[in-house]
Amino acid sequence: MKNQNRTRYDKTAQLMQQTLVRMVQRNGYDHVTISALCKCAGVNRSTFYAHYENLSDLVAETMDQIIQDFIKNTPSLHRSSADEEQRRLPPDSCPIRRESLLPYLEYVYHHQALYLMYIRNQSVFNSGHRYENQLHEQLFIPLFQSLGIRNPAVIRYFTGYYLAGITSILSSWVKQGCPESCEDIAVIIESCVKLQFR
């Protein structure tokens, strides 16, 4: 019986997350309320509060789930140490390459409304650190290790530096409604990074 209750609990949480995504994509985050979300999801408020303390908790969990789905469905983020040795880049290579950016940019493009909600409300949702930590562990550590950079502190600082620049470009892109293609933005980011390596 415990497993059935847990399964029901998880399915209801997933339903509320999916409802949140649809509502944000349709009308933006400013129009999301607990009452409206419960009505759209077909659950009552007590069910909502059995899962979350407030809307910010739901948003944080939804963002975490989207990031996990992105990481799980992006094969380039699942490299073994053997793969790293085979993919070791020459020392003068650009560490951020178009091929590694495209899956991430496509993810942002397909989740524009959620990404916009994230950048406008980072302090409210407090999901920024989890998001950055996941990208650090899944993307930047393997990337910099492929360049022969092994010092964790150096990798952490490089991650912060590159994330700040990439986030600035993505924020501007998303705020304008993503007028350029993912490929165009990948070229822009790659060009910015290459300037740092001259």
Longest dimension (CA), the chain: 63
Domain boundaries defined on the chain: 1-52, 55-196
The Cα–Cα gap between 129 and 9 comes to 27
Confidence of residue 195 (pLDDT cuts 50, 70, 90): confident
The Cα–Cα gap between 56 and 127 comes to 9
Task: Give the architecture (CATH level 2) of 1-52.
Answer: Orthogonal Bundle (1.10)
List pLDDT tens digits, range 19-78: 998 898 888 888 899 999 999 999 999 999 999 999 988 988 888 787 777 767 665 554
What's the pLDDT at 141? 82
What's the pLDDT at 74? 63
